[in-house]
């Protein structure tokens, strides 16, 4: 890697301990141990399809709920993305993807705008209450996107266009986000400087 778009962050609270290493110009290599198995699965999918390299080692009070650990990983990942992007010179900035997973279909759009915003819609009624893998509440999917978007200063739209199986829906959301993110943060040799008429993002 030549341009140094990396970050290594640690965060420790009374609820969780997280160590995270990110390389935006990786090959999709994942080393994920979040202590929450289904979230490991989602982060591995994100890594594979965004082509970032991501290492996460986390421990938390999952005997209470996975909420604290999952949210805190989202916060650290978003912060790492913002740090690794630096001044954002030369990036494509926008990305969009439409991703199926069997019966599920999800569209995601990412703008590396510097303005944190999330629009998240279309999950079927009851999804937020479903325990995926017996431990990961469906409501956490939106919560992770909130944490990433707000800490990375991204504008993110995620729209579930169809789906029945909660596992498929959640995984398709992360894969669609990953694909849109991959396009948005990639370096474009035709872009000179900051891709904004304001001169800053």
Write out pLDDT tens, residues 129-162: 999 998 999 999 999 999 999 999 999 999 999 9
How does pLDDT run across 162-193, given as a tens digit for each residue?
999 999 999 999 999 999 999 999 999 999 99
Span 46-59, mean pLDDT? 98
Neighbour-count burial for 164-180, b at 16+ CB within 10 Å, e otherwise: eebbbbbbbbbbbbbbb
Other beta carbons within 10 Å of 45: 20
pLDDT digit string (tens) for 5-45? Answer: 999 999 999 999 999 999 999 999 999 999 999 999 999 99
C-alpha–C-alpha distance, residues 66 and 135, integer Å: 7
Phi/psi zone of residue 88: left (φ > 0), alpha (ψ -120 to 50 degrees), beta? Answer: left
Q: How far apart are the first and last CA of the chain?
A: 24
- Contacts (Cβ under 8 Å, ≥6 apart) of 2: none
CB 175 within 8 A of CB 136: no
Mention every residue, 6+ apart, whose C-beta is less than 8 A from residue 68: 13, 15, 16, 60, 61
Q: Which pair of structure tokens corresponds to residue 136? A: 């990961």
- Looking at 3.40.50.300, 3.30.230.40, 3.30.1360.200, 1.10.3720.10, the CATH number of the domain 6-185 comes to 3.30.230.40
């Amino acid at each position: 890697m030549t341009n140094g778009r990396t970050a290594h962050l640690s965060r420790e609270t009374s609820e969780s301990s997280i160590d995270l290493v990110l390389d935006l110009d990786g090959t999709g290599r994942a080393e994920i141990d979040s202590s929450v198995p289904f979230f490991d699965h989602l982060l591995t999918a994100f890594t594979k399809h965004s082509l970032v390299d991501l290492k996460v080692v986390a421990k938390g009070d999952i005997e209470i709920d996975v909420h604290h650990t999952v949210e805190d990983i989202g916060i650290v990942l978003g912060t790492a993305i913002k740090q690794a992007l630096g001044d954002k010179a030369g990036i494509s900035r926008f990305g969009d993807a439409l991703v199926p997973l069997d019966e599920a279909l999800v569209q995601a759009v990412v703008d590396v705008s510097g303005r944190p915003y999330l629009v998240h819609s279309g999950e079927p009624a009851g999804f937020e209450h479903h325990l995926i893998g017996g431990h990961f509440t469906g409501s956490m999917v939106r919560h992770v996107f909130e944490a990433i978007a707000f800490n990375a200063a991204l504008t993110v739209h995620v729209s579930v266009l169809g789906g029945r199986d909660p596992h498929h829906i959640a995984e398709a959301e992360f894969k669609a986000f990953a694909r849109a993110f991959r396009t948005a943060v990639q370096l474009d040799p035709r872009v000179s400087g900051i891709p904004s008429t304001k001169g800053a993002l």
